[in-house]
A and B are shown apart, each in its own frame.
Chain A
Amino acid sequence: KAGVTQTPRYLIKTRGQQVTLSCSPISGHRSVSWYQQTPGQGLQFLFEYFSETQRNKGNFPGRFSGRQFSNSRSEMNVSTLELGDSALYLCASSLGHRDTTYEQYFGPGTRLTVT
């Protein structure tokens, strides 16, 4: 079974631009979560989608948004990029059911550099 895939793997953008990152979960997984990883702040939760609905949201500004499609694939968008948005953006998927384990599997990430 294929793992979580993320595209693109690397991205360089300029301040003020916007960016869209894509995530394809493991087949059969219905929950997709996004995390930001930086050396200073570590791994921080952005948001979670389940059945095309945002189920949970972290403490990030409204410039960060996401969506999930009917095939469980997800995208996240960052508008008006700032230098501080430079980070590794990770996507994780899980079955998402309440009464089973919460095993989440991460993709390789998208390395975003804002100049």
Chain B
Amino acid sequence: QQQVKQSPQSLIVQKGGIPIINCAYENTAFDYFPWYQQFPGKGPALLIAIRPDVSEKKEGRFTISFNKSAKQFSLHIMDSQPGDSATYFCAASKKSSGDKLTFGTGTRLAVRP
């Protein structure tokens, strides 16, 4: 049972564009939603995270938008650069499950120069 659905599977944008990656969750007990960036041969790196009491969070060029009623959240990358080309994963966790993260399937982003 996939509890976090992520789309699209892959995405190509031009430099300066704003790629948007979407995730939807089923379990309303989830209370923490991080995004990770992974380069080939590396472990996932924490980018930004949000909790359900906030509708938007911005850190640098990365913004999370959160819609609690729709059980959806998304990552926006402003002014994207070729160096942002990587695989992005959304995830979710809930207090009763400790640090267990349930991941989306990932989005492979390519930013063309």
Contact = CB atoms under 8 A, between A and B. Distances in A.
A83 to B, nearest CB: 22
Main secondary structure of the interface of A (DSSP, over half): strand
The contact size tier of chain B is: 20 to 34
Max chain B CB contacts within 10 Å: which of A43, A48, A98? A43
Nearest to B91: A43
The secondary structure that dominates the B interface is mixed
Interface in A19-50: 31, 33, 35, 42-45, 48, 50
Contact of B98 (A43, A50, A101, A109): A50
Contacts of B93: 102
A101 B103 CA distance: 17
Contacts of B97: 56
Interface of A: 4, 31, 33, 35, 42-45, 48, 50, 55-56, 58, 90, 92, 94, 96, 98, 101-109
Interface of B: 32, 34, 36, 41-46, 49, 89, 91, 93, 95, 97-106
